[in-house]
Amino acid sequence: MTEKRKLRKEPLIKLSRREDIDRKHSWTYRALAIIAALIVDAVIIMCVVHMNPFDIYSTMFMGAFGTSRKVWITLKELSLLLLISIALTPAYKMKFWNLGGEGQVLIGAWATALCMLYLGDKLPGPVLLIVMLLAAVVTGAIWAMIPAIFKAKWGTNETLFTLMMNYVAIQLVAYFIIKWEVPKGSGHVGIINQSSQAGWLPYIGANSYGLIVALVVLVTIGMHVYLKYSKHGYEIAVVGESQRTATYVGISVDKVIIRTLILSGAICGFAGWLLVSGSDHTITTTIAGGMGFTGIMVSWLAQFNVIVMILCSFLIVFMGQGASEIATSYGLNEAFGDILTGIIIFFIIGVEFFIQYKMHVRKSSGKEEA
């Protein structure tokens, strides 16, 4: 090291990437972080609302698993969040900042509702379901493809573009809600085809959510294979690491961007189809419920590993169900549950940071060259 560089002042805190950490250790740290978060939550529960934290935790647990119905609701919510996270993953792995998941789901839901309303009494059940599915997948794909083409051809900023496409979708759906509302002026479409159940996803046995869970499991496995073992998946990874490298090895970056976003949007549209046909049977502007954004967090927290995403979305859904249960049981506002969830997520993001980076604090003796 030269004299000049030695003289330069060393920063107080320096970060470097960890290369050495093994899986066993990293999972131990993650577990410790969650325990630490639960302890902090417990302290807050005791200090702010003066209740026994174990009561709160067990009530939250019952909120997600208390009855078979609750288990199914939790599984459905988990499936939908997971599906949307999976839809966003290929784009993020490619470092394409798709903030438009919400709009892509919504537009898929809109297309589904449109088919249910106008074709509900014209087509036989299975054909109608397939037409609805195709409509949802295609509109979702188009909604994602538009910003992708602009990015690939003219280098527009995809963050803003995809974000703004959400608002276009919301306004479009708001317009159609006023067109379809019953009764006039109420702002509600109500349950579509409530008596005929035309276009409703069939029940498996007595359970209405079984098919949703099964379909999401299939997509999850499919995406895992696609990203890990297919040529496309490899291309996505290369483009994400470095576009120059991709170009150098002969990958057409534009093509990969557009192709991946079509896939991403199509799965979001699929999620919209499941929401309308399988669960809500109506259309509202808030039907995606923010999952298009929560899914981004799930995807990044899991570092694009499809299997880890199951755990992440489970955690978020579990906390959400728990939060509404403590609101019902103890009269605590749901916002309190959100605070507890926020703390846990804060700790998880924190531990991910320290697993990936090592922090060096400057020592006064200055023997860091060693």
Partner 1 sequence: MKKVLSLVLALTMIFAFTTVFTGCGGSEEGGEEGNSDQAMKAGFICLHDENSTYDKNFIDAANAACEELGIEPIIKTNVPEGQECYEAAAELVDAGCGIVFADSFGHEDYMIQAAKEFPDVQFCHSTGTKAHTEGLDNYHNAFASIYQGRYLAGVAAGLKLNQMIEEGKITADQAKIGYVGAFTYAEVVSGYTSFFLGARSQCESATMEVTFTGSWYDETLEKEGANKLINDGCVLLSQHADSMGAPTACENAGIPDVSYNGSTIEACPETFIVSSRIDWVPYYKYCMEAVQNGEAIDADWTGDLETGSVVLTDINEKVAAEGTTDKIAEVEAGLKDGSIEVFDTSTFTVTVDKEKGINANAEVDGDGHVTKYMADVDTDAEYQGDTDVIEDGAFKESKFRSAPYFDLQIDGIKLLDTAF
Residues 278-297 within binding reach of partner 1 (CB under 8 A):
279-282, 284, 286-287, 289
Count the neighbouring beta carbons within 10 Å of the beta carbon of residue 184. 7
Determine which residue in the list 46, 49, 121, 190 makes contact with partner 1, applying CB under 8 A. Answer: 190
Rounded Cα gap, residues 258 and 263, in angstroms: 9
DSSP-assigned letter for residue 84: H
Least separation in angstroms between residue 296's CB and partner 1 is 22
Determine which residue in the list 29, 57, 65, 293 makes contact with partner 1, applying CB under 8 A. Answer: 65
Q: Does the footprint of partner 1 cover residue 202 (CB under 8 A)? A: no
Least separation in angstroms between residue 75's CB and partner 1 is 8
Rounded Cα gap, residues 122 and 132, in angstroms: 13
Residues 311-340 within binding reach of partner 1 (CB under 8 A):
311, 314, 324, 327-328, 331, 333-334
Q: Does the footprint of partner 1 cover residue 191 (CB under 8 A)? A: yes
Rounded Cα gap, residues 149 and 146, in angstroms: 5
Q: Does the footprint of partner 1 cover residue 24 (CB under 8 A)? A: yes
* DSSP secondary structure of 163-184: HHHHHHHHHHHHHHHHHH-SST
Determine which residue in the list 21, 43, 127, 178 makes contact with partner 1, applying CB under 8 A. Answer: 178
Residues 79-98 within binding reach of partner 1 (CB under 8 A):
none
Rounded Cα gap, residues 355 and 353, in angstroms: 5
Q: Does the footprint of partner 1 cover residue 68 (CB under 8 A)? A: yes
Footprint of partner 1 (CB under 8 A): 23-24, 27, 65-71, 73, 75, 174, 178, 182-188, 190-191, 194, 279-282, 284, 286-287, 289, 307-308, 310-311, 314, 324, 327-328, 331, 333-334
